[in-house]
Chain A
Amino acid sequence: MSTQKTVNGTKTNGNLQAKDFASDQEVRWCPGCGDYTILKQVQTLMPKMGVDPENIVFVAGIGCSSRFPYYMNTYGIHGIHGRAPAIATGLKVSRPDLSVWVVTGDGDALSIGGNHIIHLLRRNLDINVLLFNNEIYGLTKGQYSPTSPQGLVTKTSPSGSVDNPFNPLSLALGANGSFIARAMDRDPKHLQYLLERTWQHKGTSFLEIYQNCIVFNDNAFGPYTDKSMRDSTSLYLEDGKPLLFGKDEAFGIRLDGCRPEIADLAGGKWSQDDLWIHDEKDRNKAWLLTTLFDDNTQAGKLPRPFGVIYAEDRPTYEQLIQDQITASFERYGEGNLENLLTGEETWTVK
Chain B
Amino acid sequence: MSITEKQKKEVTIRFAGDSGDGIQLTGSQFTSTTALSGNDLSTFPDYPAEIRAPAGTVAGVSGFQIHFGSRAIYTPGDMCDVLVVMNAAALKANLKFLKPGGIIIANTDGFGKKDLSLAKYAPDETPIEDAKASGYIVIEIDVTKMTRESLKETGLPVKAIDRSKNMFVLGVLYWLFSRPLDSTIQFLKRKFAKKPEIAEANIKALNDGFTYAIATEIFSERYSVDAAPIEKGTYRNITGNDAIVLAIAAVAKKSNLPVFLGSYPITPASEILQGLSGLKHFGVTTFQAEDEIAAIGSAIGASFGGSLGITTSSGPGIALKSEAIGLATMLELPLVVVNVQRAGPSTGLPTKTEQSDLLQAFYGRAGEAPVAVISASSPADCFEVTYEACRIAVEHMIPVMLLTDGYIANGAEPWKLPEIDKLKPIDPRFEKPRGNGQDDHPFLPYKRDDNLVRPWAVPGSKGLEHRIGGLEKEHETGNISYDPDNHQRMTEMREQKRELIANFIPDQNFDEGNDKGKLLVVGWGSTYGSIKSAVSEAREEGLDVSFIHLRYLNPFPRNLENILRNFEKVLVPEINRGQLSRILRDRYLLPIESFNRVRGTPLTVTELKEKISEMCAG
Physical interaction between A and B:
yes
Q: Does B301 contact A (CB under 8 A)?
A: yes
Q: Does B167 contact A (CB under 8 A)?
A: no
Q: Which of B158-166, B462-470, B584-592 contacts A (4 or more CB under 8 A)?
A: B462-470
- Please tell me the number of chain A residues within 8 Å of chain B, measured between CB atoms: 64
Q: Does B447 contact A (CB under 8 A)?
A: no
Interface residues in chain A, defined as those with a beta carbon under 8 Å from any beta carbon in chain B: 1, 23, 25, 52-60, 62, 69-70, 72-80, 83, 85-95, 97-98, 115-116, 119, 321, 324-325, 328-329, 331-335, 337-338, 340-350
Is the CB–CB distance between B233 and A349 below 8 Å? yes
Of B249, B280, B300, which is within 8 A of A340 by CB?
B249
CB distance from A8 to the nearest CB of B (A): 23
Interface residues in chain B, defined as those with a beta carbon under 8 Å from any beta carbon in chain A: 32, 35-36, 38, 183, 190, 230-238, 246, 249-250, 253, 258, 260, 262, 279-283, 285, 287, 289-291, 293-295, 297-307, 309, 323-324, 326-327, 331, 417-418, 420, 433, 459-471, 479-480
Q: Cβ of A324: which chain B residues have Cβ within 8 Å of it?
A: 280
Is the CB–CB distance between B300 and A25 below 8 Å? no
List 23 A–B pairs whose Cβ atoms lie within 8 Å, in order of A's numbering: A53-B465, A60-B469, A76-B466, A79-B327, A79-B470, A80-B326, A83-B294, A90-B298, A90-B305, A91-B305, A94-B258, A94-B285, A94-B305, A95-B302, A95-B305, A95-B460, A115-B294, A331-B281, A335-B282, A337-B253, A347-B36, A348-B234, A349-B234
Query: In this complex, what residue of A is CB-closest to B262?
Result: A90
CA distance A304 to B417 in the complex (A): 66
Of A79, A97, A334, which is within 8 A of B469 by CB?
A79
CA distance A90 to B261 in the complex (A): 9
Is the CB–CB distance between B324 and A83 below 8 Å? yes
Is the CB–CB distance between A119 and B260 below 8 Å? no
CA distance A70 to B466 in the complex (A): 8
Known: A54-B465, A337-B282. A90 touches B460 (CB 8 A): no
Is the CB–CB distance between B294 and A349 below 8 Å? no
Query: In this complex, what residue of B is CB-closest to A62?
Result: B470
CB distance from A331 to the nearest CB of B (A): 8
Is the CB–CB distance between A78 and B471 below 8 Å? yes
Known: A83-B293, A346-B235. A69 touches B467 (CB 8 A): yes
Is the CB–CB distance between B461 and A337 below 8 Å? no
Is the CB–CB distance between A87 and B297 below 8 Å? yes
Query: In this complex, what residue of B is CB-closest to A54?
Result: B462
Known: A340-B246, A341-B246, A342-B417. A335 touches B281 (CB 8 A): yes
Of A73, A116, A119, A348, which is within 8 A of B235 by CB?
A348
CA distance A90 to B451 in the complex (A): 28
Which of A23, A56, A78: most chain B CB closer than 10 A? Answer: A78
Known: A90-B305, A115-B290. A347 touches B460 (CB 8 A): no
Query: In this complex, what residue of A is CB-closest to B416?
Result: A349
Is the CB–CB distance between B468 and A78 below 8 Å? yes
Is the CB–CB distance between A341 and B461 below 8 Å? no
Closest 9 CB pairs of A and B: A78-B469, A86-B297, A90-B298, A90-B301, A335-B282, A76-B467, A91-B301, A328-B280, A86-B294
Which of A92, A333, A337: most chain B CB closer than 10 A? Answer: A337
Is the CB–CB distance between A75 and B466 below 8 Å? yes
Query: In this complex, what residue of A is CB-closest to B183?
Result: A345
Of A54, A87, A344, which is within 8 A of B459 by CB?
A54
Is the CB–CB distance between B304 and A91 below 8 Å? yes
Of A23, A55, A90, which is within 8 A of B467 by CB?
A23
CB distance from A165 to the nearest CB of B (A): 23
CB distance from B283 to the nearest CB of A (A): 7
Of B249, B250, B301, B464, which is within 8 A of A88 by CB?
B301
Is the CB–CB distance between A350 and B294 below 8 Å? no
Known: A75-B465, A337-B250. 20 other contacts (CB 8 A): A53-B465, A54-B461, A70-B480, A75-B459, A75-B466, A76-B467, A77-B467, A80-B323, A83-B324, A86-B298, A90-B300, A90-B303, A94-B260, A94-B285, A94-B301, A98-B305, A335-B282, A337-B249, A346-B236, A349-B233
Q: Cβ of A344: which chain B residues have Cβ within 8 Å of it?
A: 190
Q: Cβ of A325: which chain B residues have Cβ within 8 Å of it?
A: 280-281, 285
Known: A54-B465, A119-B294. A347 touches B234 (CB 8 A): yes
Known: A54-B459, A90-B309, A328-B280. A350 touches B304 (CB 8 A): no
Is the CB–CB distance between B305 and A25 below 8 Å? no
Of A52, A333, A349, which is within 8 A of B38 by CB?
A349
Query: In this complex, what residue of B is CB-closest to A322?
Result: B285
CA distance A347 to B237 in the complex (A): 9
Of A89, A321, A350, which is within 8 A of B232 by CB?
A350
Which of A80, A324, A334, A338: most chain B CB closer than 10 A? Answer: A80
Q: Cβ of B230: which chain A residues have Cβ within 8 Å of it?
A: 349
Of A74, A89, A340, A350, which is within 8 A of B298 by CB?
A89
CB distance from A347 to the nearest CB of B (A): 5
CB distance from A19 to the nearest CB of B (A): 15
Is the CB–CB distance between A119 and B236 below 8 Å? no
CA distance A73 to B464 in the complex (A): 10
Q: Cβ of B301: which chain A residues have Cβ within 8 Å of it?
A: 59, 77, 86-92, 94
